[in-house]
Amino acid sequence: MTKTQSKKLLSVLLTLAVFVTMFAGLNLSASAVSVWSGWIKIENAGDLKHMTNNSTGKFYLAKDIDLKGSLWNEAMNFNGTLDGNGHCIKNFTSTRCGLFFTLHGATIKNVGLRDVKIKTSYTYFGGFAAEAYNTTFSNCYISGTFTGSFVGGFVGRAKGNTYENCLNTADITDTLYAAGFEYGTPYTNDKGSIFKNCINTGNILGNSCAAGITCYVNNQMTSCYNLSAKITATGDDAYIGGLAAIAYNDAFMTNCATVSATDIGEPSANCLAKAKTSIPASTFKKASGFNGLNFSKTWTFKSGVNNGFPVLRIYTEGSNAFKLSAPKTVKGKTDKNSIALTWSTVSGAKSYIVSYTAGKKWTNKKASLPKLTLKNLKPGVTYSFKIMPVGRVVGNASKVYKFTTKSASFSGKAPAATSVSVKYSWGKVAGAEKYRVRYSFNKKTWKTKDVKGTSLTFNLAKGKKCYIQVAGVSGKKVGKYTALTTISR
């Protein structure tokens, strides 16, 4: 290792040491945050499987779940809530369905399915489920490869679902119907799914149907984009659309666009749905190319990721995408032994952590409101503070603020004596080796003390008395005690 490399390594280690010292004793894990009270934690594949035991429960991912090396064919039915908290379930392979078999009225949010491989002879499937009805997907993404029939990136057969801020990057090959999000429902009387702020960048290859978002649209589609130029179908008279293969009369599109030449493969006679077509792909490699997408909180661009197209923040940042911003202002009102802190409210914060020090060791206090008074501090001492908001995870820390407690006031008066030394002496006794002093300050509790000399000093407070008797001692023999003597200050 070169000297330069050694210096860099030392610098990194010192920085890490400072960080560890500052946050010693502070649990920064999302699971410690009160937002998860009443939720069931998922940390591994076994926990995932146990969701079937509580199909209406509320579950959250405490970390990424890696299913590499296992075959996931769990036919789970689920009606509850799964919150990924920005984490993903990755590397699972299936020959049957997806993560679930059916979803009914479920809520799936803030989670990704990464590098999923599904190849099956079963009819209807998707990354999240084979079938989903009246289910909400929010801030979710999928990547991988799917091969089968009646395939959607998220679900196969579907009705009445809602997708908001969702991303499909998976490549789908279907022997019949293929779509980036769902196959959908072919029945005009069925309630179609709603799509809002959704993007497909996966390649879609079908036979009878191919679409970037859904094979059938019979509801609202708002600010949705197909950014894949490879939406193709091999069958005769196939329906191909950048956004939808077939649109019914209730279909409606707002601020939607596709890089392909066709938005809808087969619109019904009275369908008013329409989107922009043949938009250059370069348009969608910057935020200005989109309407309705939030690039400050939900979406982002990452160099070398998704061919330069947008991704969800949880795709690249995981749970850190939920980190709240630091308080912008912190104020302190000082006294001799206390500092009353107040700071600007952070939107989304459930509580705050106040970290402070007057030296090297940092102490952490929790505050439920944007204020906290620290007591029992030393006068005339400068304390350093950092404030961190707590939401799903511990947020970004504020800059360091310093406040100094007030010094104790000086009166200039002479100090009052609290006690005075009083020396009591006695005469020698012939043959005595030492003297035993028996004394009391209240005539109730007596103490004895052996001394070699002929005096003993007592510290007496003002107004206090001491009662004393003395006897000579030779070996084990104790002579006669003197009469009781009183000394006082």
Nearest 5°: CA angle at 440, between 439 and 444? 135
Q: What is the spatial distance between Cα 103 and Cα 80, in angstroms, rounded to a whole number?
A: 9
Per-residue pLDDT of the chain (489 residues), as tens digits, is 554 444 444 454 444 444 444 444 444 443 344 578 899 999 999 999 999 899 999 999 999 999 998 899 888 999 999 999 999 999 989 988 899 999 999 999 999 999 999 998 888 999 999 999 999 999 999 999 999 999 999 999 999 999 999 999 999 998 899 999 999 888 777 789 999 999 999 999 999 999 999 999 999 999 999 999 999 999 888 999 999 999 988 889 999 999 999 999 988 877 788 999 999 999 999 999 999 999 999 999 999 999 999 999 999 999 999 999 999 999 999 999 999 999 999 999 999 999 999 998 999 999 999 999 999 999 999 999 999 999 988 999 999 999 999 998 777 777 776 778 899 999 999 999 999 999 999 999 999 999 999 999 999 888 899 999 999 999 999 999 999 999 987
Question: Same topology for domains 341-404 and 420-488, yes or no?
Answer: yes
How many Å apart are CA 143 and CA 131, to the nearest integer? Answer: 19
Token code pair at residue 213: 């978002």
Number of other residues whose CB lies within 10 A of the CB of residue 387: 27
State the Cα–Cα distance between residues 239 and 90, nearest whole angstrom.
32
**Residue 309 CA to its chain's centroid (Å):** 27
C-alpha pair distances (Å), 482 with each of 85, 210, 313, 467, 476: 85, 116, 92, 11, 18
Show me where the domains of the chain are located: 29-321, 341-404, 420-488
Identify the residue whose tokens are 């009662």.
Answer: 467
CA-CA distance, 97 to 78, in Å (whole number)?
14
**248 backbone dihedrals φ, ψ, rounded to 5°:** -95, 180
Give CA–CA dist 24/363, Å, rounded: 8
- Do the beta carbons of residue 285 and residue 305 sit within 8 Å? no
The closest alpha carbon to 217, from 238, 242, 199, 237, belongs to 242
Residue pair 68/91 in contact (Cβ under 8 Å)? The answer is: yes
CB 268, CB 276: distance < 8 Å: no
CATH code of the domain occupying 420-488:
2.60.40.10
Give the tokens for residue 217. 């649209």
The tokens for 254 are 């707002």
Contact present, 314 and 323 (Cβ < 8 Å): no
The CATH code of the domain at 29-321 is: 2.160.20.110
The residue count of the chain comes to 489
**CB-based contacts of 438: which residues, under 8 Å, 6+ apart?**
446, 447, 448, 468, 469, 470, 471, 481
Two tokens, residue 197: 């702020």
SS3 call for 3: helix
Beta bridge partners of 421: 459
CATH fold for the domain made of 341-404:
Immunoglobulin-like (2.60.40)
Encoded tokens for 220: 């609202």
